């Protein structure tokens, strides 16, 4: 009887970049099952299930092939005043990809990976952010969020990447 020879399974290996692109595709499917972002006008949308934790969807920009949104709850970090947790998300409609570009979960990205991260560290951080986004979207779907629970609240006072507008009664600031 011939000796058994151990066979290696020929399973293709995915690079970390290919894995990340797969996460983007999975997140697109999860988000598309929850909300049709393409039809939402820019402004703040609320998905309220009556559980005391309404989801905020800030539609920051709509373009022909992309949308930019921020997902958050109505909770704020007591130190920074930022919504916590929150995720800035870019949707690539034609490619059916959803990318978390920034996440805030108690810390800013600079505090997590530094100002000049290596490409490997940056890729690892993007994988963690998009894994977080996927789990969050799955949780939202399991809770029952969707188009039926969504209503428009109004325009957003602060646009993505810009400083807050000063209050009307605040003194002007010098540069």
Residue 128 lies in a domain: yes
Residue 156 lies in a domain: no
The average pLDDT across 6-33 equals 82
Q: Convert the pLDDT of each residue in 119-137 to its tens digit.
A: 677 778 888 889 999 999 9
How many independent structural domains does the chain possess?
1
The average pLDDT across 164-170 equals 34
pLDDT above 90 for 4: no
Q: What is the pTM of this model?
A: 0.75
Surface-to-core class of residue 66, CB atoms within 10 Å of its CB (0-12 exposed, 13-18 middle, 19+ buried): middle
Residue 29 lies in a domain: yes
Residue 162 lies in a domain: no
- Give residue 102's domain range: 16-147
Q: Which residue has the higher pLDDT, 8 or 73?
A: 73
pLDDT above 90 for 38: yes
CB 65 within 8 A of CB 90: no
């Amino acid at each position: 009887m011939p000796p058994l020879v151990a066979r290696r399974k020929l399973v293709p290996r995915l690079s970390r970049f290919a894995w990340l692109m797969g996460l983007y595709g999975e997140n697109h499917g999860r988000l598309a099952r929850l909300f049709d972002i393409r039809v939402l006008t820019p402004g703040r949308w609320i998905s309220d299930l009556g559980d005391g934790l309404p989801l905020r969807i800030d539609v920051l920009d709509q373009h022909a092939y992309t949308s930019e949104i921020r997902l958050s709850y109505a909770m704020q970090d007591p130190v920074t005043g930022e919504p916590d947790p929150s995720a800035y998300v870019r949707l690539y409609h034609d490619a059916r990809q959803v990318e978390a570009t920034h996440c805030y979960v108690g810390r800013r990205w600079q505090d997590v990976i530094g100002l000049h991260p290596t490409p490997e560290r940056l890729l690892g951080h993007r994988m963690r952010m998009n894994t977080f986004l996927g789990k969050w979207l799955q949780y939202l779907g399991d809770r029952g969020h969707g188009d039926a629970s969504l209503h428009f609240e109004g325009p957003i006072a602060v646009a993505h990447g810009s400083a807050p507008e000063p209050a009307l009664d605040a003194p002007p600031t010098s540069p």
